[in-house]
Structures are given as C-alpha cells and as structure tokens.
Amino acid sequence: MQRLLHIEWLKLKRNKSFHVFFALYLIGLPLLFPIGLQMDFPREFSIRKIYAFPDVWSFLGYLGSWLTFFCFGLLSITLITQEIQFKTLRQQIINGMSRTEFLLSKLMLCAAVSVAATLYYVLVGASYGYVYTDFVFMSKVTEQMWLIPAYWLQCFAFMVVGLLLGFWLKRSGIAIFLFLIYTLVIEAILRHVFHLNVWSHKSVNYYPMNVFEDLVPLPVRQIGMTLEERLERDGVSLLLRPEEALLVAVCWILVFVGLIYWLLKRRDL
Amino acid sequence: MTLSIKNLTKSYRSLKAVDSLTLEIEQGQVFGLLGPNGSGKTTTLGMLTGVILPDSGSYQWFGDVQPVNARKKIGTLLETPNFYPYLNAIDNLKIVARIKGAQTDYDAILKSVNLYDRRHARFETYSLGMKQRLAIAGALIGNPEVLIFDEPTNGLDPQGIAEVRQVILDIAQSGKTIILASHILDEVEKICSHVAIIKQGKLLSTGSVGSILNNKVTVEVGAEDLAVLKKVLENCSLVERMLVIRQGFSLTLKEEGSVAAINQYCFDQGIVLSYLIEKQKSLEQEFLEITQ
C-alpha cells in the first residue's frame, strides 16, 4: 500500500499538469467564492449567510464541486493518459507490478488527492465562517459537517470517472471532451428529454454525474423554498436525499472501478 | 530451466503474430531471437513480460514462480525506453526500484551506463542513445537473473551501437541469462551463444549458434574452365545449392558432403580445381535459406 502510494508520489510531485490543476483549485476556491456577492438572490435572503456557519459549508461546497469536477476530473484523465502515452503503464507491468496493483495505486492516488482537496475545502470554509459569523457556536459550525465526507466522495467519484474515460479512450483530448460534454450536455438530454418523457420516475435522478453532483447539492433550501417548488412541478424531486445520493454514488463508483478493472485485465498494453 | 514456453499463440484479427511457439532457455545462455521485422519477436517478449495476453499456450519462468514475481527478477527493455519525460534519471530509476522492491546504488548503476554526469537532467532532454542507456540501467536494477533486450541498438548511431553491445557483452560475462531479439544477424552472431529463428510467428530453427552454423558446409570452388566445372557440379549429388561468385561457385553441401569429397569428385570428372576453400557459413546465409 505504502509502496504504491510512494511510487505515485514520485511521479506526481514533478508533474506539470498536477501543479497547474492543483494551483487552479487552490487559488480558485477562496477567490471565486466572493462571486456569490454578485448573484441575484431573493430579496429576503441575507447574502452574509453564504459565508457564515453553517451555510458556508454548502455554498462553498457547491462552488468547490465545480472546481473539483474541472480540476481533478481533468487531472485524473491527464495522469492516466500520460501513463499510456509515455508507455510507462506498460513498463511498470514489465517491471513487476501486477495490473491489479496498478489500478490500486491509481485509486489510492485519487483518494489521496481528494483528501487534500477536502482538507483545503475545510480550511477555506472555516476561515470564511469565522470571519463572517457574528457569534460562532460549535453547534453552528458542525451543523452541516456531513458535507465534508460527501465532498471527499464527490471529488473521488469525479476522479474515478476520469480514470475510466482516460483508460478507455487512451487519448486525453477525446477523454476530456467526452467528460465535459457528457456531464454538461448529454446526461441532461438523456434525463430530461428521453427518460422523463418515457418514465416520469425519480430514477431520472440516478444518472451517475447527477448523483455525484447531488452529494454536495445546490443549496436550494438555503436560498428559499420557492425555487425548489418551482423545479418540482414535474413531480420529480430536483435533488436526491443525501443518504440516497451517497448509496447510489457508491454503487456507481463500484461499477466504474469494476469497468476499469475489466478493461485493464483483458487489454494488451 | 530459466524459461520454458509451450505452444504460445497470439493472433491479431486474422494475422497469427505468434504461432504455437515452443522454446526452452537455460540459465546462462545468451539467447538470440532472430527474425525479420514483424516476425513476432516483440509480441513473444510482450507475452513473456505480462503486457500482451496470449490467446493460448503457456510459459513458465524459473520453474513455477508467479509471473508477477518472476518479472521482478527480469530486467526488460522492450522496444523503446519508457520513462517519465519530466523526471530526471534518478527519479525514474527510483520508480523502477520501488516496483521491484530493490535496494539500489543509483550512482553506481548510472556510472556503469555512463550517465552519471547527466543524472539530474530530465529524461526528455536526453539523446536517443542516452535514453537507451538509461533503459539498460533500469533493466539492471535489482540485479536481475535474466535480461531481455528487444532490438537494443535500433536507431542508434555506430558509436551508440558499439556502446550498447559492449554493455550487453559485459552483462553476459557476469553469467546472467540474456534474451536478445534482433533482426540484425551480425548482432546475434557477435553476442549470442544460442539462437532461435522465427518467421511469421513460427519457430524455424533453434540451437547453439555454432550448431546452426556448422550444420552444413559451404565450399567455394574455381577452375580454369568454369563452364565445364558448372556442368560437372550440376550433376553432383553432394551439392545442395550453387551460387555464382567471382572466383567460380559457392556450394552448399548436403549432410554427407565434405571438402575432400568435392575435390575427389571433380578430380574423377577430369577437372583440377584451381581454387578450393571451405567457408564457415555465415548466419546471414543460413537465415536467408531458412526463412525462404
């Protein structure tokens, strides 16, 4: 375990893509957060609430989920396609790593990067919270803390999707294109145009990227009930319940890891 | 037995890249895998090193060691040198050493392939020859029992070729088993003790380099009247193949043929040979004959 992580760290520490994506995340998370100040919220909604405990966790988490999607989803695609492009995946197998160990090392890398991303989210969230909360009560601070493990799982899930696409398609350009187009366009069409017309059922929310997004949901409840009510007119809830999202997300992750394993085991390298 | 291969087969669509290959390699042999480009050498080595999955057949390293553990005791350079371009030599070798679980003196190993001075330079800044030498350094990590080199001199300049060959010969001196795939006969002839000739994935011939060379004798003959000599030799039952050369003819003799027998035969036919010389047949001739 430690051996595999150490190998991944040797590769990662001087990797330019890693430096760029990680820097984007580090800079982006605290700097993009104040953009909320310019957003058009319902009048009764206090903007300062966004930055105060406990709502800072969900608002920062929602912003962070976009950043982890872009930065770490793309990072994981880049890292795996580099291994293929440099033929270092092939060389590592030749040198005596098993295919299972290779998959394990990449999963541990994703888990470790997600831990770093989550710790930074906690740090930024706590900082904003302490500055913008008038009276800091521990109960307020911890009220939405379930979002912290959810944030980690979401980041990990995006990276696993990146691994799958990168390993399957081998080329970073195509994999990144599909990663973005599927998440931002194709899945929405599948869900709202096809699925909903055929079967108006809550399974419309079970599509993988939607499930992962719902792990750290858009904080609609905090903004105001009206928005949610408006979006629920189809009789379909906009968001999955947290525990539901968690369960389905874990299932999707297992399916994706299984697919990578299956590809890795039967492919000539 | 270091390596035993049984009926190893791999197809790409309708093309049989490796066709029921059976081969055994003993410890300490410098084994040449010789064949033209596209004959299945790299595919074979790919299967032996776990990156290409065989359709059927099997192989065993060191008796019955698990393939993944066996690979840790094998140093391999397959086709191109594969390293992280943005890492320097030492970091790249560290990754190899970690995978193999080997304690390594990086300075010593880099000195042995003459890369010590450039050890802190990124791999992408290396010339092809340096990349190849780093790959050899990578293959040497963990003091492996077997080394596999696939076309190790491909694309190198004459100096690079000489350096790489010297490194391989040095390794061979230390008693390690070496498997060398090459389409260059000269290379195999100079380096190897044993050879297997393959074409279109099929094993055509295998044995010690000496035994393949000495199977049949090549004799060059000449006489005053080459036209008469030609007529006489064409009727000779000892001659298998006859080529025109400057001095006369180059004859490949059948098993029962010998220099003395040819001389006697010509003399009996009333021809006195003015030129008679026994040639060790080069692997090149053998190779062309076997693969035709």
Domains of chain B: 3-213 (3.40.50.300), 215-291 (3.30.70.100)
| The pLDDT value given to residue B186 | 77
- The DSSP code sequence of chain A is -HHHHHHHHHHHTT-HHHHHHHHHHHHHHHHHGGGGGGS---TTS-THHHHSTTHHHHHHHHHHHHHHHHHHHHHHHHHHHHHHHTTHHHHHHHTT--HHHHHHHHHHHHHHHHHHHHHHHHHHHHHHHHHH-SS--HHHHHTTTTHHHHHHHHHHHHHHHHHHHHHHH--HHHHHHHHHHIIIIIHHHIIIIIIHHH--SGGGG-SHHHHHHHHS---HHHH-HHHHHHHGGGSS-SS--HHHHHHHHHHHHHHHHHHHHHHHHHS--
Assembly ipTM: 0.88
Nearest CB to A268 within list B52, B85, B98: B52
Least confident window among A39-48, A214-223, A260-269, B154-163: A39-48
Q: Which residues in chain A have Cβ-Cβ distances shorter than 8 Å to B100?
A: 95-96
Whole-Å CA distances, A204 to A67, A190, A241, B12: 25, 9, 14, 42
A268·B69 Cβ contact <8 A: no
Least confident window among B79-88, B140-149, B241-250: B241-250
Q: Which residues in chain B have Cβ-Cβ distances shorter than 8 Å to A90?
A: 51, 78, 82
Reported as a pLDDT band with limits 50, 70 and 90, residue A44 is low
Nearest CB to B51 within list A10, A14, A269: A269
Contacting B with CB below 8 Å, chain A residues are: 3, 6-7, 10-11, 14-16, 86-88, 90-98, 266-269
Which of A252, A70, A81 lies closest to A168 in space, CA to CA? A81
**Interval A188-243: pLDDT, tens:** 889 888 877 777 777 788 899 999 998 998 776 655 555 555 555 555 566 778 88
**Interval B195-233: pLDDT, tens:** 999 988 999 888 888 777 555 678 889 998 888 888 888
**Interval B92-117: pLDDT, tens:** 999 999 999 998 899 999 998 889 99
Whole-Å CA distances, A202 to A15, A60, A240, A268: 42, 27, 9, 40
Among all residues of chain A, which has the CA nearest to that of B67? A96
